Amino acid sequence: MMLESTLIEYPCDFPIKIMGRADQNFTQSILKIVKRHVPDFDEASLETRNSNKNKYLSLTCTVHAISRAQLDALYQELCDHPMVVMVL
């Protein structure tokens, strides 16, 4: 049984952290997905961080979410992407 209630009030700014292998195409691939779900996402707000040995890259995208359905769809597509290791 899935609960439909949420503690988040929409619209809101919502940070999503996406981790994957440090690859030259990783950032662009993730931005494409984010912009498909949040067309007005400001790429200048993207935060990046490399792991200690530069094997992994963490991207933090703070999106302006308008609904739970929008966030769910974004999370699902990010989680399904082969380059993504984890989404928080």
Q: Identify any residues that bridge with 36 across adjacent strands, giving them in sequence order.
A: none
Is 5 a residue whose pLDDT tops 80? no
The whole-chain average pLDDT of the chain stands at 93
Q: Which has more confidence, 66 or 23? A: 66
Q: Answer yes or no: is pLDDT of 1 > 50.
A: no
Size of the chain in residues: 88
Domains of the chain: 12-87 (3.30.70.260)
What pTM does this model have?
0.88
The contacts of residue 32 (CB under 8 Å, 6+ apart) are none
pLDDT tens string 57-73: 999 999 999 999 999 99
Distance between CA atoms of residues 67 and 65, nearest Å = 6
